Amino acid sequence: MARRTGRRPGNPDTREGILTAARRVFADRGFDQASVRAIAAAAEVDPALVHHYFGTKDKLFLAAMNAPIDPGELLPQAFAGGPDEIGERLVRLVLGVWDSPAGTAALALLRSALSNDWTARMLREFVTSQILRRVIGQLDVDPAQIPMRTALVASQLAGLLVMRYILRLEPLAGADPAVAAAMVGPTVQRYLTGDLAAVPLPAGDKPTDR
């Protein structure tokens, strides 16, 4: 009997093979440019198997990241109550995750990102596509400023997490989460909704003389 060729069928190793391919494709192309079809091709499986095991591209990305949380399930807490205090609510939500049992895995991921380029790329994609883009997407801001706002918020949150949980700089490290959120929240709020008129536009968006 002739041996069948083509994509291999589902087997006990298929799920891990898809995850391995997904990590490579997401790291190489970023979340936006990575497609389920490209990941399936890299894993040598049918795209239907990717959907079977993981559902959506977002869920596949979270699995590839070994993400300790699903931001889509938590972020509605930050949106509740309108945009005026979303900065403080976002900080409080982030600290709540890090102070929870999921914080151990989150801390390991952050430590790895500080010394490993692949993890850094994946964590950057995770923060950008799964958290900050969803938050800023709820706000009425100039689309041309979204990349800078996203980067500024990320810088503030990353600095807070490093100082509080890795370097453990006191008195920040031991501060009550609500107090820390109240202090840091206004800065995050300004980055999200404040006046950033001085922020330069990307080159392609600059007005030109006619």
Tens of pLDDT along 3-28? 444 444 446 689 999 999 999 999 89
Q: Are residues 77 and 160 in the same domain?
A: yes
pTM (2 d.p.):
0.79
> Mind listing the pLDDT tens digit for each residue in 144-197?
999 999 999 999 999 999 999 999 999 999 999 999 999 999 999 999 999 887
Does an H or E element contain 210, and which? none
Query: Are 26 and 103 in the same domain?
Result: no
- If asked whether residues 169 and 93 sit together in one domain, one would say yes
6 domain residue, yes or no: no
Judged against a pLDDT cut of 90, whether residue 207 lies above it is answered with no
User: What is the CATH number for 30?
Assistant: 1.10.10.60
Peptide bond before residue 171 is cis, with ω within 30 degrees of 0: yes
Strand ranges inside the chain, DSSP E: none
Q: Are 100 and 5 in contact (CB under 8 A)?
A: no
Position 209 in a domain: no
Number of domains in the chain: 2
Could you tell me the residue range of the domain that residue 145 belongs to?
71-195
Phi, psi of 116 (to 5 degrees): -125, 120
Let me know whether 147 and 81 are in one domain: yes
User: Each residue of 160-170: b (16+ CB within 10 Å) or e?
Assistant: bbeebbeeeee
The answer on 55 and 22 residing in a single domain is yes
